[in-house]
Amino acid sequence: MRAHTLMSTVLATVTLTAQQRISLARPEGGGSPVERAITDLAQAPRRAPAMAQLFAIGEPAVGPLVGVVARAGADTPFALQVLGALAGDARAAVPQLQRLTAAGGHPFAAAIELTIAAIGERDSVLVADFSADVVIEFAPDGRELRRVGYAGIWGVQPLADDRLLVTSANGHIAEIDWQGHESWRLDTPGSPLTARRLLDGRTVVACWRGNCVLVLDAARQQIARIEGLDAADVEPGWDGNLWITSYSDQRLVELAPDGRILSSQKLAATPMDVDLLPNGNRLLAFDRARKLIEFDPAGVEVASSVVEQEPEAVHRLRDGRMAIGWATGAQLRDADGKVLFRYDSGQCSEVIARLQPAARATGGENRDRR
């Protein structure tokens, strides 16, 4: 997202999408919106709205969020969650976070390292190519930076120490390095499509065709199994709840941390992926319908687009750029839909864009990668 500088004595605005804006005027009661939201992180009843607001504000919130992490209080994990969700928009925080871990003794060191991995230390787009059994890291212009092979690869998440959490349709999850060496492997029900490492060390696994969601503790021991969900994707919310796309029964499900179903939205098609947006909406990829649909928090459709292939994954950045993985490869597009680069292959199942707001694909013509 391109954000204007937040000044203490003037109004500022932050671009959320090409059409939506948020005011940063000082509210009554003193303090800027960032200051007020930072204060609210320490207050449980106000925490989730504060996190959502900081995520919506974007870059101007990064410095204050790092300040919360440096103080190492009870609100640190929530500041880290927002920084990780900001990804490339929080790139300026990486050197400061690295200094905090290098100094030693920080009580949330492991969570900081996971956050650095989520932000990324350079601009890149990760693509999991299921058809070719490979994860590829691309530069913003489509140049291949590196790749690693892994059989049955479907989902991927960057971890600390330049490692990857991967899911394999062969029936397991694992942690690997960029040479493909496993540090551990765990069998799961069905074909796991998505695994998410949370800041508290838990791992949540969407077990497609296993008809369940697994929650593992930091030692990879199962602490919960939620049945009845043909889960394709899982996305953590600000309040600690989890958003699940349940594929065959066509639902978007909200789970409480203890596994209770809090809400269930019936959908018109099979959902593969859910992406939480800075404006509070949710962007879903529907593979068979070949659609991307945005829903507001009440579940009302506010925008939709038809795409030419079956989308497996979507990641829309704050400035409108969008990475899509689908039946014949992956693409990075600008806010107007122009293809910045494309990777032509088979079924690409995961895309993760860690790009700074100012980063743009370079090199003139769009690039084709095969």
How far is CA 265 from each of CA 83, 131, 224, 345, rounded to the nearest angstrom?
A: 28, 31, 23, 33
Residue type at position 336: D
Task: Kindly state the helix (H) or strand (E) to which residue 86 belongs, with its residue range.
Answer: helix 76-86
Measure the CA–CA gap between 43 and 59, rounded to whole angstroms.
23
282/278 Cα distance (integer angstroms)? 9
Q: CA-CA distances (angstroms) from residue 296 to 19, 101, 164, 280, 281?
A: 15, 38, 32, 7, 4
Please report the DSSP string for 23-59 in residue order.
E-PPPTTSS-HHHHHHHHTTSHHHHHHHHHHHHHH-G
What is the amino acid identity at position 321?
Answer: R
Q: In the prediction, which pLDDT does 49 show?
A: 97
Per-residue pLDDT of the chain (370 residues; tens, 9 = 90+): 323 222 222 222 222 332 233 333 344 456 899 999 999 999 999 999 999 999 999 999 999 999 999 999 999 999 999 999 999 999 999 999 999 999 999 999 999 999 999 999 999 999 999 999 999 999 999 999 999 999 999 999 999 999 999 999 999 999 999 999 999 999 999 999 999 999 999 999 999 999 999 999 999 999 999 999 999 999 999 999 999 999 999 999 999 988 999 999 999 999 999 999 999 999 999 999 999 999 999 999 999 999 999 999 999 999 999 999 999 999 999 999 999 999 999 999 999 999 998 543 343 334 443 3
pLDDT for the residue numbered 260: 93
pLDDT at residue 31 in the model: 85
Instruction: Kindly report the CATH number that applies to the domain delimited by 124-369.
Output: 2.120.10.30
Contact status, residue 13 vs residue 22, Cβ threshold 8 Å:
yes
